[in-house]
Amino acid sequence: MDSGNVTWILVSGALVLFMTPGLAFFYGGMVRSKNVLNMLMMNFWCILVVPLLWVVVGYSLSFNGSGSVLGNFGRAFGRGFDFGGIEPAVMIFLATFAAITPALISGAVADRMKFAAWAIFVPIWSLLVYVPVTYWVFAPNGWLKARGSLDFAGGTAIHVNAGIAALAVILVLGKRKGWPRDGAPPHSMPLVMLGTGILWFGWFGFNAGSALAANGVAVQAFINTFLAASAAGLAWALVERIRNGHFTNLGVASGIVAGLVAITPGCGYVTSMSAIAIGLIAGVVCSVAIGMKFKFGFDDSLDVIGVHLVGGLVGSLLIGFFADPKGLGFDFAPGLFFGGNLHLLGEQALANGVTMAYSFVVTFAIAKALNATMGIRVTADRESEGLDVTEHVETAYNNSERTMGRSH
């Protein structure tokens, strides 16, 4: 076991774990102060429940197997690992991916979902949606991977998957009271920017860590992650400047995240200049895409669809154009711009299409089932009063100097 590689994987794992709180702050800053703790809790919940599930059965079902559709129980309950090998490190590194994926969905359901329903939704969704899709896309014998689609760090399996699932859930959940006429600006933009900083920082582990070794591919993935984030942040900012006349912080933050999403699938398959191009395209496309929700009338509170679904699709399909095995010096299918044919693009489209169809249908069914049994939406009164107090009996900010009675 190479100590440099182990270090790289472990550090990357820590970085990706840190992304979930980062996402919590990114989302939490955007909601009203009466709902911020609910948002944080939905995210933290994912890093409590999913990693346990992952070690117990998730990893085994997602990666351990020889079939084309699902793994087996060979690594269940933490058994079967070679203690001196790299696999345990890889397993725990991937736990952080499993955890953050449902967390992405939380941005769409903000301000109105019953926490108890979310608490149950997360592990069910992980098992029924995340696990099989991951097997198809990432496992050595997964059928989408075997056909030739490329997904370096989780564009299809994570962002497209979570993005389309977000759509399915909010179709069941319904719009927030007053939406789209009423709304509220982000309650704390510094919290949003803190989240953005943490996400970017952590995403180096997400993408470059996915090389699973500290090698040339990891370096290139790191470079691409960096450049795509910069390019997309810039592009989104410029779109806003041209369209509305100002550079906004939320625009920059959104662009950075969109760029990170878009480069995720291709970060190990493209060169630096292509990464810049992908970032620029993603920044422009996503900044326009987030307007869709008003057009089509679905209330995607914090633009999970506009950023993760669209950004993931853009990035995944662009592999079909920009994949450049010669430029990077190792072996995979080339994209259209670098000597390839339409085959790769077709496989990318297929992989994303299949993922979207499967994820949408199963997620919709889960949401419907939960709604029919326990209900997934808070009452209108609770929605008005705020979810922090009603769902969690807590208040985010108590800036007063006052003292109050307490009992216990």
Site for its own copies in 254-273 (CB under 8 A): 256, 271-273
341 binds other proteins per the rule CB under 8 A: no
Q: How far apart are CA 258 and CA 248, in angstroms?
A: 15
Q: Which two tokens stand for residue 60?
A: 């085994």
290 binds other proteins per the rule CB under 8 A: yes
Query: How far is the first Cα of the chain from the last one, in angstroms, to the nearest whole number?
Result: 52
Number of other CB atoms surrounding residue 116 within 10 Å: 14
Number of other CB atoms surrounding residue 71 within 10 Å: 25
Q: Which stretch binds its own copies (CB under 8 A): 130-138, 189-197, 347-355, 368-376?
A: 189-197
Residue 346 contact among other proteins, its own copies, none, beta carbon within 5 to 8 Å by kind = none
DSSP characters for 104-148?
HHTTTSTTTB-HHHHHHHHHHHIIIIIHHHHHHHHSTT-HHHHHT
Q: Which of 150, 154, 118 is nearest to 133 (CA)?
A: 154
Neighbouring-strand partners of residue 377: 113
183 binds other proteins per the rule CB under 8 A: yes
DSSP characters for 344-383?
HHHHHHHHHHHHHHHHHHHHHHHHHHHHHHT-SB--HHHH
Backbone angles phi, psi at 147, to 5 degrees: -70, -20
Least Å from the CB of residue 250 to other proteins? 5
User: For other proteins, what does the binding mask look like between residues 348 and 387, x meaning CB under 8 A?
Assistant: ------------------------------------x---
Least Å from the CB of residue 131 to its own copies? 18
Least Å from the CB of residue 10 to its own copies? 5
406 binds other proteins per the rule CB under 8 A: yes
Query: Given the complex with its own copies, which of 128 and 213 has the nearer CB atom?
Result: 213
Q: Which of 348, 324, 317 is nearest to 338 (CA)?
A: 324
- Binds other proteins (CB under 8 A): choice among 14, 223, 292, 389: 389
287 binds other proteins per the rule CB under 8 A: yes
- Binds other proteins (CB under 8 A): choice among 85, 241, 243, 273: 243
259 binds other proteins per the rule CB under 8 A: no
Q: How far apart are CA 138 and CA 132, in angstroms?
A: 10
331 binds other proteins per the rule CB under 8 A: no
Q: Which stretch binds other proteins (CB under 8 A): 52-60, 166-174, 241-249, 316-324?
A: 241-249
**Is residue 178 left, alpha or beta, with left meaning phi > 0 and alpha meaning psi from -120 to 50?**
left
Least Å from the CB of residue 64 to its own copies? 15
Residue 339 contact among its own copies, other proteins, none, beta carbon within 5 to 8 Å by kind = none
381 binds its own copies per the rule CB under 8 A: no
- Output b/e per residue, 222-234; b: 16+ Cβ within 10 A: bebbbbbbbbbbb
Query: Given the complex with other proteins, which of 109 and 286 has the nearer CB atom?
Result: 286
* C-alpha R_g of the chain: 21
Least Å from the CB of residue 251 to its own copies? 9
The CA–CA distances, whole Å, from 206 to 10, 20, 135, 159, 267 equal: 11, 12, 18, 12, 10
Least Å from the CB of residue 387 to its own copies? 11
Q: Which stretch binds other proteins (CB under 8 A): 80-88, 140-148, 183-191, 312-320?
A: 183-191
Q: How far apart are CA 370 and CA 386, in angstroms?
A: 22
Q: Which of 212, 226, 209, 207 is nearest to 265 (CA)?
A: 207
6 binds its own copies per the rule CB under 8 A: yes
Spatial contact of 158 and 207, defined as CB atoms under 8 Å apart? no
Query: Given the complex with its own copies, which of 19 and 351 has the nearer CB atom?
Result: 19
238 binds other proteins per the rule CB under 8 A: no
Residue 389 contact among its own copies, other proteins, none, beta carbon within 5 to 8 Å by kind = other proteins
Site for its own copies in 117-156 (CB under 8 A): 119
242 binds other proteins per the rule CB under 8 A: no
Least Å from the CB of residue 330 to its own copies? 9
- Binds its own copies (CB under 8 A): choice among 71, 155, 306, 386: 386
Footprint on this chain of other proteins (rule: CB under 8 A): 182-183, 185-186, 240, 243-244, 246, 248, 250-251, 254, 287, 290-291, 303, 384, 389, 393-395, 400-408
